Every structure is written in C-alpha cells, then in structure tokens.
Structure 1
C-alpha cells in the first residue's frame, strides 16, 4: 500500500470537516468550525465513508486544544476559586443522578443487561469504560455507540442552545496581539513536554491537560499575553470536529439504529439533569450559566474545552471540573461494576437454589 493510499482516508476526513465547519460558520452558527465539522464527519461515517484520524494527528490535536485553552485563560481566573465548591457539589450530585437514572432507564425500558446499561450511563472516561467492557462486562459495541452519541450530542447542544435558549454567554475576547512563530514553537515544546509527563503519570486526558498546564502557567507567570493566531484556532476546531466524528467509524447503520434510541434518550436525560443542576448552581454563584453548563457537562474534555474557547468562557473553570469529574468516575466505575457482579452472582445463586428445590 502506497503512502498516498494510506493517507487518503485521513485527508478526506479533514476535507469533510473543513466543508462542514465552513458551512456552519457561513450560516452564523456559534462554534461553527467545531460543530459543523463534527456533524459532517459523523454523517460521512454513517454513510459508509472511510473516515480516520491517525494517532499522531489525534495527539497533535490534543496538544493544540490544551495550548488554546491555556492561552484563553483569563488573568482573573483564580478569583473564581471561592465559588468552585458550590459547582463541585453540583457536579457530584449530577453524576449520581445521571448514573442512577439513565442506567435504570436503559435496563428497564430497553432491556439491556445491567453491565451494558450502567457502563453506557457513565458520563465520561470512555477509554476506562471500554477497557472494562472488553474484560467481559456488558456489550462493548452497544456501549461505545451510546457513549459516542452522548459525546456528539453534547458537542452540538451547546452551540444550538446559545442560539435558541436564553443562555447568558460571553463574546470571545478580541485579542490585540497574537503569538509569533518563535513564541508558538517555544510554547508547543513546553506543552508537549509537560503533556508527555502527564501521560507517563497516567493523568486522564494527559496530553490535553499537560499542554493546558504549561500554557496556563506561562501566561499567568507573565511569559506571554498574546492570543493564539486565529487560523491556528480554526485548524484546532476543524481537527477536533474530525476527531469527534471519526469515533463513528466502523459502526454499521444496523448497529447504530439498534442502540441509537436508547442512546438518544439517555443523552437527553443527561442534558436535562445537567441543565437543572447548572441552573441551581447559577442561582448561587456569579458566573454565566453557559460556563457552568460547560463545566458540568459530561462531554469529552477536548470538545468541551474547544467550545469554551469558541464561546468566550473561562477555560480554567471548565478544565478543572472535567478533571475532577474524571477522577470521581475513576472510583465510581469500578465500584458500580463490583455491585453489578454481586447482583449477578446473587441472581444466579437464587436461580440455582430455586432449581434444586424443584
């Protein structure tokens, strides 16, 4: 296989993301490059096109997202720390509600086995969830479809919400100056280095968070005040959209349709829970409802971080809440799996006892 043939699916994927993002931007949709790209690549994947984002390009995307988030951190971000306990309490509450209610719904109304139902209900930590599913808990194909539907719907919901719902959001700051090429190279080098350290330490979303940590520390330390160049931000959004949409690669339409109804309803329930909890938090803390919503929403960190940049929100707040969500899920997922195993063992023992008595 020649190199051009190897690269062809990736190039096609990027072109589709550019076309979809460009169309959404021309229509005036918020975060158009991101939302439009994700939708276009998803549609192409479901239509049977070979969409693909290679690992190296995925890693580049993660670093770019982290750098962009760090460069977008407001100098007064630390002043919001006092209000975080309230939003973090809301985060814990919503996780309990989402896992309990959506897991019960999928098992009760869609007759999914407990492993599939509850692993599908976890709002995040997809790689961890799929690792457990691969070890024999639940149906991995159904789980990944429901989880990917969640990620896609959340990416789409926020920009649409800013158009049709009375959500207070900020216009992105108008930068007065942009990072030069040597500044970008220096920042990228530091971001990659810290990102690799985070990956080595097994920090969730290590490349994204490591790059953001480096870029944030440099900005708050006064090493730069300039913004990321606009073309580079657009490239980051296009790559992120392609990455989100490419997660549907390899899923047949039959598999998608069999799990889509449950996935859409579960995601709608998740959106409702997040919206209500965010509304409650917004009555107590003084920050935009949309920013709270993004911080609490259980989408992929790269997608939610990119949306935060596009909509002008405080990326430090958003990233911190997503990191804590992943840490909470790291403990919650094994705990729920143990409970499922015990429940299954008890059911088997009860059935065996009943058979012996007969």
Structure 2
C-alpha cells in the first residue's frame, strides 16, 4: 500500500510539475496502477478511513471554489447550464445504453458515460466499487479533450 501511495504521489507531482493538465490525478492513478500491476496479486485495498479522508478533502477543495461571485454568475448562466447538463446527461445515458446493447458496457457504465470532472466521477465510482472502470472512461475523455482542444478552439473561432 505504501508503495502505491508513494508511486502515485511521485507520478502525480511529476506530471503536475510538467504542467500536464490533470497531472496530479492522472499521474497518481497511473503511479498507483503501475504498482498494483507490477505486484500482480490483485487489487490493493486502501484503508477506508484514508479513502474517506481523501474524498472529504476533494469535496472541500471543490467546495471552497464556490464564492459569492460564482453564485452571482450562476443566475446569468443558469438556463444555459441546465440545458447543457440535461443534454450531456441524456447523451451519456444514450451511450451507456448503446454500450450495453453491443456488449461493451463496463461495470458502472452510467457513471463512466456521465458528464463530470475526472476526480469527482472517479471518486463516485470508487464509492460504488467501480472506480477503475469509471476512471478509465473519464481519463480517456480528458486526455482526448486536452489533445484536441487547440484544434477545436481554432475551428470554433472560424
């Protein structure tokens, strides 16, 4: 367990230092996964108090970004945000159904195809015992968005 935590910290911090977007969470997942794979003895189980503490810190890290200014801006963008959220949720559900239909749905497919931040969705998946599957889906999504963003921005400006 200690090796996974150290490897996760080192890899996450390394990617953060290299300014890789999402480097802390992606790097820590990759580092910990590497230890688990090298061990070859199945999944490592972190102590529940440690996992709970990590989720609490993650929730607080997100919560403290909610300022009066953010709440004030929400009034201006509420309708667009709501329409966008509903569209993404419906699209995610459609993808989940399609994956089930063709036999490619992992455990936790609804969380895996739902919109949301990699950290939050992975944490929600971990709470339901499908963290790895959900994390893979969202990691692929985030990496593809990051890689395609320069092109998407140029196309959108046309």
- 1:251 and 2:69 are equivalent in the alignment: yes
Structure 1 unaligned regions, length at least 5: 1-182, 343-358
CA apart distance, 1:252: 5.0
Equivalent residue in structure 2 for 1:279, among 91, 94, 97: 97
CA apart distance, 1:311: 0.6
Matching residue of 2:150: 334
User: Relative to 1, partners in 2 of residues 1:327 and 1:211: Cα closer, same or farther, differing over 3 Å?
Assistant: closer
User: Relative to 1, partners in 2 of residues 1:202 and 1:320: Cα closer, same or farther, differing over 3 Å?
Assistant: farther
Give the Cα separation in 2 of the matches to 1:199 and 1:223: 28
Give the Cα separation in 2 of the matches to 1:333 and 1:322: 16
CA apart distance, 1:314: 4.8
CA apart distance, 1:206: 1.1
Q: Is the 8 A contact 1:204 1:323 kept in 2?
A: no
Q: Is the 8 A contact 1:295 1:322 kept in 2?
A: yes
CA apart distance, 1:223: 7.2
Aligned residues: 157
Q: Is the 8 A contact 1:295 1:321 kept in 2?
A: yes
User: Relative to 1, partners in 2 of residues 1:240 and 1:311: Cα closer, same or farther, differing over 3 Å?
Assistant: same
Q: Is the 8 A contact 2:96 2:113 kept in 1?
A: yes
User: Relative to 1, partners in 2 of residues 1:189 and 1:331: Cα closer, same or farther, differing over 3 Å?
Assistant: closer
- 1:234 and 2:64 are equivalent in the alignment: no
CA apart distance, 1:335: 2.6
Residue by residue over 1:147-180, the C-alpha shift from the partner in whole angstroms, topping out at 9 and shown as x without a partner, is xxxxxxxxxxxxxxxxxxxxxxxxxxxxxxxxxx
Residue by residue over 1:283-341, the C-alpha shift from the partner in whole angstroms, topping out at 9 and shown as x without a partner, is 1125456x2222223311110111111011151x3223222212322244333332333
CA apart distance, 1:279: 0.7
Matching residue of 1:110: none
Matching residue of 1:54: none
- 1:301 and 2:118 are equivalent in the alignment: yes
Q: Is the 8 A contact 1:275 1:293 kept in 2?
A: yes
TM-score (norm 2): 0.83
TM-score (norm 1): 0.40
Matching residue of 1:200: 17
Higher relative contact order by CA 8 Å / sep ≥ 6: 1 or 2?
Answer: 1
Matching residue of 2:33: 216
Kindly name which structure, 1 or 2, has the bigger radius of gyration based on alpha carbons: 1
